[in-house]
Amino acid sequence: MTSQPAAPERQRDAERTKAEILEVARQEFARHGYAGARVDEIAARMRTTKRMIYYYFGSKEQLYIAVLEKAYAEVRETERVIEVEHLAPVAAIRALAELTFDHHDLHQDFIKLVAIENIHQAEHIRKSQALANLGTPVLDLISRILDAGMASGDFVTEADAIDVHMLISSFCFFRVANQHTFGALFGRDMTAPEHRARLRAMVGDMVVAYLRGADI
Amino acid sequence: MTSQPAAPERQRDAERTKAEILEVARQEFARHGYAGARVDEIAARMRTTKRMIYYYFGSKEQLYIAVLEKAYAEVRETERVIEVEHLAPVAAIRALAELTFDHHDLHQDFIKLVAIENIHQAEHIRKSQALANLGTPVLDLISRILDAGMASGDFVTEADAIDVHMLISSFCFFRVANQHTFGALFGRDMTAPEHRARLRAMVGDMVVAYLRGADI
Amino acid sequence: MTSQPAAPERQRDAERTKAEILEVARQEFARHGYAGARVDEIAARMRTTKRMIYYYFGSKEQLYIAVLEKAYAEVRETERVIEVEHLAPVAAIRALAELTFDHHDLHQDFIKLVAIENIHQAEHIRKSQALANLGTPVLDLISRILDAGMASGDFVTEADAIDVHMLISSFCFFRVANQHTFGALFGRDMTAPEHRARLRAMVGDMVVAYLRGADI
Amino acid sequence: MTSQPAAPERQRDAERTKAEILEVARQEFARHGYAGARVDEIAARMRTTKRMIYYYFGSKEQLYIAVLEKAYAEVRETERVIEVEHLAPVAAIRALAELTFDHHDLHQDFIKLVAIENIHQAEHIRKSQALANLGTPVLDLISRILDAGMASGDFVTEADAIDVHMLISSFCFFRVANQHTFGALFGRDMTAPEHRARLRAMVGDMVVAYLRGADI
DNA sequence: GATGAATGAGAATTCATTCAT
DNA sequence: GATGAATGAATTCTCATTCAT
């Protein structure tokens, strides 16, 4: 409305609106799945209208993909921060395991989105340019730790970086992703605070024990 | 009037119809999630009509719960068959890990149903009487193995049966459940035949190494 | 199954089954209206099956008509019993009013069926042979009372038998038929026991006062 | 952009659409009852689609409740207009009876809706906030007339306002509500023009005679 | 006479999406 | 950029009725 910085303000508003839509959409998709999420519900939970969702994202599917892209981008941003280079191999792999644990603990919506995306056989990820080859950095990191550990004699088990990544991820992911069925069947909420420290140590112990391997 | 009994035949047909509905429904729910599954599509893939689904199961939700109940029942049936009692502790826990791996490998629809159910926060499992306390048998088994291992000195790590069950399950579950996003991001299909034997050995090695623990 | 009285027994059973169906159907139609009544529900509340309803009555509509016919037949049976001939005109018309009151009080399902039938513009009554000209006897009775009252000088108001029948019926019918909306709007259940005697006297007073008329 | 305001026009359209739906729905519900009414049929009789019914009213039941609320609101609006305060008691009660007669004569759909609602035991009225305590104004009016009549000596019968309201309403309501069964059984259409004046006078005569009471 | 399984036609409701302003 | 009204195409679910035995 003022004479000068109108366009930039508008842009900033537009960005804010888009960000708000993405935030609400992430929650809605995470809670109800792709098909179960309601465009109406997303709109109802915002101060903008449903029309804006289509204006900015074009369709429910494209909105969902944008949510996925943002979630993965945040994960990789976190992983980039990890500095395990200066640590000894055993300490390094344990640090990676614990950081992964912490990250999964902190980003439960992301975990749910990944689970949802697997139900849809990753069809949306494959449609997204932004999500191709997003995995390589962490694999490089693991490779370097494994090489150092084998060289130093700390690790004995011959292991592949992708396998080790899966070993770590599976534990951290399952604890969050399957908390509800696990809780219903075994009567224990693995994400409750009283189990946190023990399970965090466990994933580190597990991967170190596996790599040390010895005479199993 | 003929020598063959009439009523049982009708009954058998009814049972067959119900079983067929459950089979097709399991595939449809596993592929599309609860909200994404279509009652029309389930009916279209059978020699029965949509009306029968409501006749036998009452609603989409009750059909879904029946599918879940059947899937879990089959899992427990498999677990019941496991005979690890006569094995030494190390061999026993490895056998359990490998049987779990095999079962998850063989029942991928079940894995997907569990993932779907977690997205819905296990609300349907909690509604089902049949699915309460389904977890206890396997926990008893693990407890006995852990006790024997500690007594014999084979195991060193103090571990809880539920935690160990999660340790084993998470690896086997993740490999199947997250195969699509994992494949899209890392370019490797962990469920492909060429990875099977290696990963099957890995879950056994991992749990044994963890329990042996030693001087981590 | 026995050799001799098989057929009569069968017949008696058949009559009993039909009577039971009619009884349950009357309740169901009275409670839910014609369209709202469920054939399934009627069957579920009996020891016979749904097939029998169609076997004996052919369709939902014919069952409904049979229910109506039975209900009206019972009403007329009651009216036939009324003996007011030997009473003086004032006592006679009051007796008729009170008998009508009692009858409506006692046969509330019948009242509801009549209300339902009016919603459907009496289309089913018109289809039934059994229900044609069912009204004449009571009109004859009223006519004779009115004639006697005018002759004796007890009644002054020139009144038509049909009008007087409506005057009496409307009060008795409304009290039962509209009890729910009246209760909701005015906070009084006109069918409650504490109002019964007062309202029963009121309908007699009203019709006598009207016929006495005098210098209104 | 034009001189006429845009938003109000849209709003007016919305209001018009809602009003049109209510109008058609009232006819459909009145003619077929709640269960017998068809949402499809309501939509087919308008320039709007069925979807709008759900957009504005949410469900068939809520539409029905809205119809009821509107019908009752109109009744009370009519009653508010009645000015009998300046009349002598006898003239006043007769005026009220005749106005009630006229109103029922004019709003036959309303009568049917009330009959339908009674079949459903007033469950919808009870769900509606708007319909609570709608009855009081007319009861106040009757009370004042009765008091004045007793004071002046015009009325002799001790009568309760609710009872008198029922006395008047029952006659007017029955004549319209039961016209079809009454016509089928007695061969006279009480709502036909040739009976109108006589019956209108009759309800006034009846209530005055009742209240005058005398030596019954 | 009796029974449970089966069904076609239809009814209520939902949902992503677009239009007029 | 923004808004509320509008909508077509499904989608779940229901119901009276009939069939096979």
Which CATH number goes with the domain that contains A118?
Answer: 1.10.357.10
Confidence at residue C6, expressed as pLDDT on a 0 to 100 scale: 47
Provide the pLDDT confidence category of residue C183 given band limits of 50, 70 and 90.
very high
Average pLDDT over every residue of D186-211: 97
Nearest to A41 by CA among A55, A54, A27: A27
| Cβ atoms within 10 Å, residue C121 | 16
Q: What is the pLDDT of residue D112?
A: 96
Decide if B184 and A122 are in contact by the 8 Å CB cutoff: yes
pLDDT of residue C81: 67
Q: Considering A40, A58, A76, which residue would you say is the last residue of a domain?
A: A58
Q: What 3 state SS string does D18-47 have?
A: HHHHHHHHHHHHHHHHHHHCCHHHHHHCCC
pLDDT, position C127:
80
In a shared domain, residues C142 and C196: yes
Tens of pLDDT, residue by residue over A187-199, are: 999 999 999 999 9
Is A139 a member of any domain? Answer: yes
Residue D173 — very low, low, confident or very high, per pLDDT cuts 50/70/90? very high
The predicted pLDDT at position A86 comes to 84
Same domain, B83 and B167: yes
- Residue D89, classified by CB atoms within 10 Å of its CB into exposed (0-12), middle (13-18) or buried (19+), is buried
pTM of the model: 0.86
A–B contact: 3+ Cβ pairs < 8 A:
yes
Does B2 reach chain A within 8 Å, measured CB to CB? no
Contact B78, B96 (CB under 8 A): no
For residue B198, the chain A residues in CB contact (below 8 A) are 163
Shared domain for A85 and A150, answered yes or no, is: yes
What does the mean pLDDT of chain B come to? Answer: 88
**Whether residue D83 is found in the same domain as residue D147:** yes
What is the spatial distance, in angstroms and rounded to an integer, between the CA atom of B46 and the C1' atom of F20? 20
Q: Is the pLDDT of residue A5 over 60?
A: no
- A90 shares a domain with A139: yes
Are D96 and D152 in a shared domain?
yes
Could you read off the pLDDT of A86-126 as tens digits, one per residue? 889 999 999 999 999 999 999 999 999 999 999 999 999 88
Asked whether the beta carbons of residue A206 and residue B206 sit closer than 8 angstroms, the reply is: yes
Q: Span D174-185, mean pLDDT?
A: 95
User: Among A1-10, D40-49, D68-77, D152-161, where is mean pLDDT lowest?
Assistant: A1-10
Among chain B residues, CA nearest to A33: B119
Query: What's the number of domains chain B is made of?
Result: 2
Same domain, residue pair B54 and B74: no
Contact flag C180-D121 (C-beta cutoff 8 Å): yes
- My answer on whether A48 and A141 are in the same domain is no
C75 touching D (Cβ < 8 Å): no
Looking at the structure, do residues A80 and A35 belong to the same domain, yes or no?
Answer: no
How would residue B77 be classed by pLDDT, with cut points 50, 70 and 90? confident
Residue D206, pLDDT > 70, answer yes
**Residue-level pLDDT at C12:** 59
Mean pLDDT score across all residues of chain A: 88
Calpha distance C59→C63 (Å, rounded): 6
Q: Which residues contact D203 (CB under 8 A, 6 or more apart)?
A: D97, D98, D100, D101, D168, D171, D172
Residue C112: name the closest of D72, D128, D118 by CA: D118
Question: Is it the case that residue D46 has pLDDT exceeding 50?
Answer: yes
**CA of D143 vs chain C CAs: smallest distance (Å):** 14
pLDDT digits (tens, 9 = 90+) for B103-161: 999 999 999 999 999 999 999 998 887 787 676 788 999 999 999 999 999 999 999 99
Return the pLDDT at C4.
45
Residue D64 belongs to a domain:
no
- Touching chains, B (3+ CB pairs < 8 A): A
End-to-end CA, chain B: 76
Q: Is the model's pLDDT at D37 over the cut of 50? A: yes
What's the rounded Cα separation, in Å, for the pair A22 and A110?
13
Q: What is the pLDDT of residue B122?
A: 94
Residues 175-204 of D with CB under 8 A from C: 175, 177-188, 190, 198-199, 202
CA closest to C1' of F9 belongs to D51
End-of-domain residue from the set C16, C33, C58: C58
pLDDT at D59 over 60: yes
Residues C42 and C88 in one domain: no
Residue A129, pLDDT score: 73
Q: Which of D174, D175, D199 is most worth mutating to test chain C (most C CB atoms within 10 A of its CB)?
A: D174
Q: Per mean pLDDT, which range of B24-33, B40-49, B143-152, C127-136 is the poorest?
A: C127-136
Higher-confidence residue of D85 and A128: namely A128
- Is B63 within a domain? no
Q: B12-48 burial, b if ≥16 CB within 10 A, otherwise e?
A: eeeeebbeebbbbbbbbbbebbbbbbebebbbeebeb
CATH at residue D54:
1.10.10.60
Say how many C-beta atoms besides its own lie within 10 A of residue D98's C-beta.
Answer: 17
Position C42, amino acid: I
**Facing D122 at nearest CB: one of C33, C114, C181:** C181
Q: Confirm whether A63 is domain-assigned.
A: no
Contact D119 C33 (CB under 8 A): yes
Indicate the DSSP class of residue D121.
T
Same domain as A94, residue A50: no
CA–CA dist A27, A162 (Å, integer): 30
Q: Would you report the helix, strand and coil content of chain C in percent, each value rounded to 5?
A: 75, 0, 25
Q: Which nucleotide is nearest to B2 (CA to C1')?
A: F21
Query: Do C50 and C131 share a domain, yes or no?
Result: no
Give the 3-state secondary structure of residue A66: helix
Q: Is residue B113 part of a domain?
A: yes
Shortest CA to C1' contact from B53: nucleotide: F13
Q: Tell me if D63 is assigned to some domain.
A: no
pLDDT digit string, tens, across residues D86-133:
889 999 999 999 999 999 999 999 999 999 999 999 999 988 878 876
Q: Is residue B160 part of a domain?
A: yes
Closest chain A C-alpha to B42 CA, distance in angstroms: 17
Model pLDDT for residues B34-56, shown as the tens digit of each residue: 999 999 999 988 877 888 899 99
Higher pLDDT, C149 or B132: C149
pLDDT of residue A77: 78
| CA–CA–CA angle D120, D126, D127 (5° rounding) | 100
Domain limits for position B8: 1-58
Share of chain C above pLDDT 90, in %: 69
In this prediction, residue D195 carries a pLDDT of 98
Q: How far apart are CA C179 and CA D120, in angstroms?
A: 11
- B36–A contact, CB cutoff 8 A: yes
Give yes or no for residue A214 having a pLDDT over 70. Answer: no
D126–C32 C-beta distance less than 8 A:
no
